[in-house]
């Protein structure tokens, strides 16, 4: 049996190591890390390449690391969870899904899952969104009104929101949720505590040329800079029409026209985001839309679950976990690319393209083809 962990490891830090070790201690089972590849849910290039992050994870508690397809990695919380859980369900051996969260009150998390299906909650959400609010805040307001402030306050934690989506996706399966409370620092916090710091704080430090070694088990890796992709992103956006934007995930109610106008009137990505941003269209949502445009993910593709299991690396124990996998197992993209069905081929092609694009974000640009030339990592 095994524990699945949906993650980004962007970068892998001491808090991640704590969660993996805690999950392994509680369940006494090996860990399958379902990790975002070259781009993350923020709509931003990962701070270093997926192969490096996978190796560090394997050296610090993971037994098998598989890649979440890019169409899921850059999705909103609901779709991110759906794709991640579909990979967990692909393994017959998985009986737990562990996740870091601000609250490990499982009863409260289950109550919030029920709230998602509550007709009155959804009426209030619809009304709030009609007034210009965005879904997470509208959901929190509805829960506060019907379930009380204490329950609603749980939704202020970004990891709690994902936890609710994970539990929702696990319904009807034999996989049990295993929430593990974050320690020492909060998500996105700029406050450090002993050897713990948030991933966003670490990224900020290392991209500004400062050291953050004490917060990571391994810190000697090359770093990407989103600014290195700025011209390429602007070129891509300027080559698109309103109809092209309309088929992207999270674009609705004429947002494609606002994006088109923003692209015309601005010469930086930040300028485009600031032009589009409103109370309803948050910065995170716009960044995901831009990432989807950049790598070529359309809404139709993002509605899918995972269609294959792309293996990045494993330990000796981890290798055995691949037995009985219900989806095609990809250890060589060269062999797999023509054996998958059309939609799966498109997904894998975008994973490969995303790696090639991300290779331009390093100060020392990399050649294309890392997905073909990098062997499965064995630790």
Name the nearest CA neighbour of 276 among 295, 296, 254, 261. 261
CB-count exposure of residue 193 (10 Å: 0-12, 13-18, 19+):
middle
The pLDDT assigned to 97 comes to: 98
Read off the pLDDT of residues 320-353 as tens digits, 9 standing for 90 and up.
999 989 999 999 999 999 999 999 999 999 999 9
Pairing of the two strands 176-181 and 64-68: unpaired
Spans of the chain, pLDDT less than 70: none
Element spanning 26, H or E:
helix 14-27
Q: Residues with Cβ < 8 Å from 129, sequence gap 6 or more?
A: 135, 138, 280
The pLDDT assigned to 289 comes to: 98
CA distance 232 to 269: 10
Rounded to the nearest 5 degrees, what angle is found at the Cα of 246, between the Cα atoms of 244 and 248? 85
The pLDDT assigned to 183 comes to: 85
The pLDDT assigned to 158 comes to: 86
**Contact of 374 with 311, CB cutoff 8 Å:** no
**Contact of 362 with 221, CB cutoff 8 Å:** no
Q: Residues with Cβ < 8 Å from 18, sequence gap 6 or more?
A: 183, 196
The pLDDT assigned to 280 comes to: 87
The pLDDT assigned to 184 comes to: 80
Strands (DSSP E) found in the chain: 2-7, 31-36, 64-68, 94-101, 176-181, 309-314, 329-330, 377-378
The pLDDT assigned to 340 comes to: 97
CA distance 16 to 9: 7
CA distance 372 to 217: 28
The pLDDT assigned to 191 comes to: 86
Place of tokens 């010469």: 267
Element spanning 234, H or E:
helix 230-238
Model confidence, pTM: 0.96
């Amino acid at each position: 049996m095994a524990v699945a962990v949906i993650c980004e490891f962007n970068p892998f830090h001491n808090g991640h190591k704590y969660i993996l070790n805690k999950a392994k201690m509680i369940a006494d089972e090996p860990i399958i890390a379902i990790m975002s590849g070259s781009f993350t849910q923020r709509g931003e290039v990962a701070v270093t390449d997926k192969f490096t992050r996978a190796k560090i994870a394997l050296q610090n508690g993971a037994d098998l690391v598989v890649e979440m397809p890019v169409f899921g990695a850059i999705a909103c919380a609901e779709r991110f969870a759906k794709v991640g859980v579909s990979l967990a369900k692909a393994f017959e051996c998985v009986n737990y899904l562990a996740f870091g969260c601000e609250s490990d009150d499982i009863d409260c998390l289950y109550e919030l899952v029920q709230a998602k299906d509550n007709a009155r909650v959804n009426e209030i959400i619809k009304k709030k969104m009609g007034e210009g609010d965005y879904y997470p805040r509208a959901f929190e307001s509805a829960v506060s009104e019907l379930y009380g402030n204490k329950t609603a306050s749980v939704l202020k934690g970004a990891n709690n929101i994902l936890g609710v989506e994970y539990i929702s996706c696990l319904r009807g399966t034999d996989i049990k949720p295993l929430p593990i409370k974050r320690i020492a620092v909060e998500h996105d916090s700029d406050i450090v505590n002993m050897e713990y710091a948030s991933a966003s704080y670490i990224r900020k430090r290392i991209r500004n040329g400062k050291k953050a070694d004490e917060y990571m088990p391994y810190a000697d890796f090359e770093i990407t800079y989103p600014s290195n992709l700025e011209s390429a992103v602007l070129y891509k956006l300027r080559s698109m029409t309103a109809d092209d934007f309309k088929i992207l995930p999270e674009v609705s109610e004429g947002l494609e026209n606002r994006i088109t106008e923003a692209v015309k009137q601005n010469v930086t990505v930040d300028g485009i985001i600031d032009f589009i941003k409103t109370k309803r269209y948050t910065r995170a949502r716009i960044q995901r839309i831009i990432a989807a445009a950049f790598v070529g993910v359309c809404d139709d593709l993002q509605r899918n679950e995972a269609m294959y299991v792309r293996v990045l690396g494993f330990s000796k124990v981890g290798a055995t976990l691949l037995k009985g996998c219900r989806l095609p197992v990809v250890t060589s993209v060269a062999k797999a690319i023509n054996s998958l069905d059309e939609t799966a081929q498109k997904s894998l092609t975008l994973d490969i393209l995303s790696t090639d694009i991300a290779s331009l974000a390093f100060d020392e640009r990399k050649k294309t083809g890392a997905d073909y030339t990098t062997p499965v990592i064995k630790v």
